[in-house]
Chain A
Amino acid sequence: MTALISLKEIGKTFLTDEIETRALSGINIEINKGEYVSLSGQSGCGKSTLLSLLGLLDSPSTGVYTLANNDVSALSRDDRARIRSKEIGFVFQSFNLISDLTVIENVMLPLTYQAGLSKTQIEQKALEVLEKVEMSHRKSHFPSQLSGGQQQRVAVARALVNDPAIILADEPTGNLDSKNAEAVLELFDKLHNEGATICMVTHDPASARRATRCLEMLDGQLIKDNANHDRTSKSAKPVELVAG
């Protein structure tokens, strides 16, 4: 099977006031189309940085990142933006909806950055995904008028609207109560079953177990990759990638 995403020897270093902080080093991963991957680890281990690199929100300092057979490690800012608008969908912990835009306007946003789509097409597509997440009845509301769970469902709809190659979710249930968290996870399960590729950062073991593959990080390195993880088995043993 051809990998949708391939990371080879990826590293990321931040420079602040001449102090060098190594956030990631030697990351090698391949994610296939249709996989549901969870990424977990302690706070500050580099999960979100890795997700930012996967989502082309940032560029790696070293290594090669291939997305759908294209090397995207050294693209310009605008080229990365164009790929994001077509191939990637984001779901954030804090929802990140724009407060001045209505629900449907928020969902339409990624498509407005793509060329060649009419307003009607964009609206129609946005409505479709809002129906999918059962939020079409609140399309004219502003984010501040919605509950946390509803806001996250809108965020999921926004992530889906451009039919992305991969959905990247950063602690999507972190700001939700258990009931709303379960609803969002069920939505991800449903999307996965429909063939979506998902990569979700979480440090909730229960949420991580919903994925078909579980990656674990420590101090900027990938330490476990439970590639053969059985979603129903609770005793599966993960593969150790890095010693100690």
Chain B
Amino acid sequence: MSTLLDIKYALRLLFKSPKFTAMTLLVLIGGLSISLFTFSFLYSVVYKPLPLKEGDTAKSIGVMTHGNYGAIMAYEFQHIKDHITSLAEFGVYDSRDIRVSVNESGKSLYGNLVHAGFFEFSRTAPILGRTIQAEDTKPGAPPVALISYNTWQNDLNGREDVLTRTMILNGEITQIIGVMPQGYHFPNIAQIWLPLPDDVFTAKPQESTYLSAYGRLAPGKTIEQAESELSQAVNQVYQQNVKLYDLPELQKTVKILSFPMAQTGGQGGIIFAFLNAVSWGILLLACINVGNLLLARTIERQKETAIRAALGATTARLVSQLMWEGIIIATLGGVLSLLLVGAALEYTNILLQSWLPGGISFWWQWGMDFVTFMMGLGFIVVTIVLSALLPAWRSANQDINATLRDGTRGAQGKKAGKVSRFLVTAQVFLVALLMLIGSISAFVSYNMINLDMGDNYDDVMSARFLIPENKYPEKAQQIALFDALTSQIKQHPNVEDVVSTNWHWQTPITMEGQDYTSENDKPTVDVITLIGNTETIGINLVSGRQFSHMDKEGNRKTAIISQSMAKRYWPGESPLEKSFTVTFNDKPEKVFIVGVVTDRLNPSTLFGKLDTEDEVYLSGRQFISAFHVMKYKILPQTANPEEIFYRAMFNTDRNLELLYAVQPANENRNLMRDSMRLMSNITFATGFFALLLAMVGIYGLTANTVAQRTHEVGIRRAVGATDRSIIALFIKQGVKQLVIGLGLALVIFALMSVGFHSFTDAIFPVHSYFTLALLVVVGLTSIVLFAVYVPTKRAVMMEPSMALRYE
């Protein structure tokens, strides 16, 4: 009965102050929604178990080389697979774009080459037909494929007789043997599955294919045991081949991760922790603000509380009575946040599905799931404790005598003032830190969006393919095929030029007349094998000439170098006709410089400067490779530009192995830039909300402090203080809290900046950090001063005779 009365009383108080109720609700909904959305979004990306039967035990197995999580080599897998005891299941797959031909045209589908056991590992059976079996992967086996539910519905119109149909996949007539259930895209975004031929395991180590591995632990085995056993086995196989096949010395370790974590390269945990810490900071801010607003209410009711205590109410009873207001607000805010976050997650699903070209990982399913709901409840409980229990506890434990004798003045007012000052300082610190971190993030995003790569991929299409070496074993045959393909593409009236590039990063070179004590002392450059003209992709000739058909095998080996390299090694003189030795495919080759071109940024470098790394272009007719990244420049607004390559391929050799779909060359960059833009927008939105929270919070705290000190203002005015001196007094106190909070945040920001500056290879000048800090200091100072000035000005407008009577 008494609880019902308390609730009724709390509701009456909330309805009595609709502005207060609306403001606290808004602040709570904002804080809770940001925290919950961030948690749920990242949890689905990083930690959510695969939505498969026994999905939590399905693991991705990666080989770490140079600190990067990567694939296992086919020959390594072949040698170790039968000896590993810590895994109950162990297999590999290869991710490829699969070319689907329809007459002379067609499209690419995200596919996986898999072997027997793959579908059994994912504990999923096809809804039609059968899975890939051992006989399908044997050399000479008829080509077969399983397709996804979407492919069945969209490309084959959901035909019932799908199992009697064939498709032309990678130029081969392929029998469809099964359809997988709706939503199944294991291991990631697959739309089609083909057999992984057994002969990939018998290739020589230096020609061996890299494959992605998966596995499931054997009963009683731990991840550490499996990692140790696999690392030992992989290294043993690798070391046996190091001398035999002249492979580089490496120490390999094996890492077992969940599939979602593997997709983030094992870095998901850091991102998860960092972004959640930021969002929890915002929730903490919201709780501080709401807590303080509620504290102000309980202080206003201190006399009432004292009377209740004097009449015999216990502390627990008082706390419970005082808490109801907070509980109602936190619960209502929590419920509304859950609804809001649920809708936002559903919308995110739709947005990302349409935004990412190949669709999203099949476990990226956002919505109000059990974990999000439970986390939401957890946040609500934390909010109740921080914003309702603590103020109520403080108020209920007051000195009854003092309060009944002196009203709200005296010792309680002093304590409340201290708490308020601490809260303002904490708030300034948190907001300043959020703004400083946010400004770095926004600054980096802005720079990444506007990054000068040193090239121009506008109206350039890109196709990555492999020339089948079994069909074209001779280098001359490969070049002839390449020329035929180029010629076909150039016949199209909308094609301006064609160029082929292939990057080989961190290749050592030897300069003439230099002694190097070891291989590690040799400078490294980015080597790009090139057939065609660099100007096709916006890399302009500075001096000398471009490669021609004469820069072919048998003739003197030539090179074009970047401006940065010319300045570094031949300052003040022409590098043309100078020579140096480049180690290409582990073989030293002396090359003569015939041209100098503008600098270009290594596309794998997130942070760098155009002139940080030097580039050496080698003639692709002298340094021949089966792998090509062909780029063809087209006229703007050319319709279906990818079709130009597909038709040329159809007319040249339809068995070329396309590694990715033909796409605009800046597709990935645009995707990166869009991601950065999204990140920047989210950062700004979050920072703006934090700022809004801070403004509301600091205003509320100051208004509360000023209100508590209205009587003091009256006394000061009575003894002669002017309006200005009173305002100056409060501003001085505000500035003190600002200096402490901002100072602490700036110290942390300075430490972070030093680390970030070093991590980004000093690409951003030091003054940019100072500028960011200055902007935040000016912005936050203005807001704090405004938030202090407005309620103080309002308080001093009260006549001293009224202020002296103010309780």
Contacts and interface: CB of A to CB of B under 8 A. Distances in A.
A79 to B, nearest CB: 9
A84 B715 contact: no
A86 B413 CA distance: 30
A96 B715 contact: yes
A100 B417 contact: yes
Nearest to A162: B720
Interface residues of B, number: 24
Contacts of B711: 96
Contacts of A82: 720, 722
Contacts of A113: 716, 719-722, 725
B653 interface: no
Given A96-B715, A109-B716, A57 B801 contact: yes
A144 B411 contact: yes
Interface residues of A, number: 27
Given A52-B801, A98-B715, A84 B720 contact: yes
B346 interface: no
Contacts of B799: 57-58
Nearest to A100: B414
A139 to B, nearest CB: 18
20 contacts: A48-B801, A49-B801, A52-B800, A55-B718, A57-B717, A57-B800, A77-B722, A77-B723, A78-B722, A82-B722, A85-B720, A99-B409, A99-B410, A99-B413, A99-B414, A110-B720, A113-B722, A144-B410, A144-B411, A158-B719
A92 interface: yes
A159 to B, nearest CB: 9
Interface in B701-748: 711-712, 714-725
Given A57-B799, A99-B414, A85 B719 contact: yes
Given A58-B799, A100-B417, A92 B804 contact: yes
A98 B718 contact: no
A113 B716 CA distance: 9
Given A48-B801, A84-B717, A100-B417, 14 more contacts: A52-B800, A55-B718, A57-B801, A58-B800, A77-B722, A81-B717, A81-B721, A82-B720, A85-B721, A92-B804, A97-B715, A109-B715, A110-B720, A144-B410
B374 to A, nearest CB: 46
A121 interface: no
A65 interface: no
A90 interface: yes
Interface string B766-803: 00000000000000000000000000000000011100
Contacts of B719: 84-85, 90, 109-110, 113, 158
A13 interface: no
Given A99-B414, A100-B414, A81 B720 contact: yes
A114 B720 CA distance: 8
B409 to A, nearest CB: 7
A90 B721 contact: no
Contacts of A162: 720
Most interface-central of B411, B414, B714, B718 (chain A CB within 10 A): B718
Contacts of B722: 77-78, 81-82, 113
Contacts of A158: 719
B725 A57 contact: no
A100 B414 CA distance: 7
B804 A96 contact: yes
The 4 closest A-B CB pairs, nearest first, are A85-B720, A52-B801, A57-B801, A113-B720
Contacts of A52: 800-801
Contacts of B409: 99
Contacts of B721: 81, 85, 113
A218 B715 CA distance: 28
Contacts of A114: 720
A57 B717 CA distance: 8
A113 B800 CA distance: 15
A129 B722 CA distance: 24
A126 to B, nearest CB: 12
B720 A86 contact: yes
A2 B719 CA distance: 26
B804 A99 contact: no
A84 B567 CA distance: 79
Contacts of B413: 99
Nearest to A87: B720
Contacts of B800: 52, 57-58
A101 to B, nearest CB: 9
A207 to B, nearest CB: 21
Interface in A100-124: 100, 109-110, 113-114
Most chain A CB neighbours (cut-off 10 Å) among B719, B721, B804: B719
A107 to B, nearest CB: 10
A158 B82 CA distance: 95
Interface in A28-69: 48-49, 52, 55, 57-58
Contacts of A85: 719-721
A114 B722 CA distance: 10
Nearest to B719: A110
Contacts of A81: 717, 720-723
B736 to A, nearest CB: 14
A99 B723 contact: no
Nearest to B714: A96
B720 A57 contact: no
A96 B718 contact: yes
A166 to B, nearest CB: 14
Contacts of A90: 718-719
A25 B140 CA distance: 116
Identify the interface centre among A99, A114, A158: most chain B CB within 10 Å of its CB: A99
Contacts of B720: 81-82, 84-86, 110, 113-114, 162
B794 to A, nearest CB: 14
A98 B410 contact: no
Interface in B610-643: none
A52 B718 CA distance: 9
Interface in B388-443: 409-411, 413-414, 417
